[in-house]
A and B are shown apart, each in its own frame.
Chain A
Amino acid sequence: ETAVFQTPNYHVTQVGNEVSFNCKQTLGHDTMYWYKQDSKKLLKIMFSYNNKQLIVNETVPRRFSPQSSDKAHLNLRIKSVEPEDSAVYLCASRTANSDYTFGSGTRLLVI
């Protein structure tokens, strides 16, 4: 099956903890993204990465960092979570000739 796979589906953690979310795509796409969707469903791009260039949205706090081993994987680490980080994190991929394919999302709850 070719798709974008995200784990975990759901994660609950306490303020100050570190979390990591995984994303893998089997579509052969060359660019991957992380989006944050807040409780109002607003979508904001966090990072895009095409194995050569990492582009960071300047509004993303420094506690967020992307981690990639190859063009099929783009993980997201949050060093010290804060309550406002509670959201759904969506991973996506695309190639020059296609639109986004999104993963199913990771819902983070910070308590």
Chain B
Amino acid sequence: GEKVEQHQSTLSVREGDSAVINCTYTDTASSYFPWYKQEAGKSLHFVIDIRSNVDRKQSQRLTVLLDKKAKRFSLHITATQPEDSAIYFCAASISGGNYKPTFGKGTSLVVHP
């Protein structure tokens, strides 16, 4: 089955700097890659996704890059703010059908004022 590796367990940046969180996956059939954010003491919520028909997607300060050859995708956050501090989970899944994303272990992002 699919394995998703999220290589950084923690990431610390200064407010205003950029943050990059990296993930890799193993199943070439995976074609949908969502990202979720979990703030302290709260549940997860969806932030951005990318499908395999594109290699880049941007939404305001968030950009997701996908390298299908390397089976790697990443979340880039520009101009970080303290409220970006959270655990970020990447996931990979096939599209449609029996949707069952495999999650990474999460990266705890801390943005220092």
Residues in B neighbouring A45, C-beta threshold 8 A: 100
Residues in B neighbouring A40, C-beta threshold 8 A: 105
**A55 part of interface (Cβ distance < 8 Å):** yes
Query: Which chain B residue has the least Cβ–Cβ distance from A90?
Result: B43
Query: Which chain B residue has the least Cβ–Cβ distance from A107?
Result: B41
Give A101 to B34 CA distance when docked, in angstroms: 12
Residues in B neighbouring A71, C-beta threshold 8 A: none
**Across the interface, do A43 and B46 meet the contact criterion of CB distance under 8 Å?**
no
Known contacts A42-B105, A55-B98; A102 and B45 CB within 8 A of each other: yes
Complex A-B, nearest 5 residue pairs according to Cβ-Cβ distance, in ascending order: A43-B103, A99-B46, A102-B43, A102-B44, A41-B106
Q: Mark B31-65, 1 if CB is under 8 A from A, else 0.
A: 00010101000111110010000000000000000
**Chain B, interface residues (CB within 8 Å), range:** 10 to 19
- Selected contact of B34 from candidates A31, A41, A99, A104, CB within 8 Å: A99
Determine the main DSSP class of B at the interface with A: strand
Residues in B neighbouring A55, C-beta threshold 8 A: 98, 100
Query: Which chain A residue has the least Cβ–Cβ distance from B93?
Result: A99
Give A99 to B89 CA distance when docked, in angstroms: 14
Q: Please give the number of chain A residues whose Cβ is less than 8 angstroms from any Cβ of chain B in the complex.
A: 18
**B113 part of interface (Cβ distance < 8 Å):** no
Give A104 to B38 CA distance when docked, in angstroms: 10
Nearest-neighbour CB distance to chain A for B64, whole angstroms, equals: 13
Give A20 to B89 CA distance when docked, in angstroms: 27
Give A100 to B36 CA distance when docked, in angstroms: 9
Give A104 to B87 CA distance when docked, in angstroms: 15
Query: Which chain A residue has the least Cβ–Cβ distance from B45?
Result: A102
Residues in B neighbouring A101, C-beta threshold 8 A: 45-46
10 example contacts (A-B, Cβ-Cβ < 8 A) are as follows A31-B99, A41-B87, A42-B103, A43-B89, A45-B100, A48-B98, A96-B96, A100-B44, A102-B44, A105-B43
Nearest-neighbour CB distance to chain B for A106, whole angstroms, equals: 10
**Across the interface, do A104 and B42 meet the contact criterion of CB distance under 8 Å?**
yes
Interface members, chain B 47-98 (any A CB < 8 Å): 49, 87, 89, 96, 98
Residues in B neighbouring A96, C-beta threshold 8 A: 96
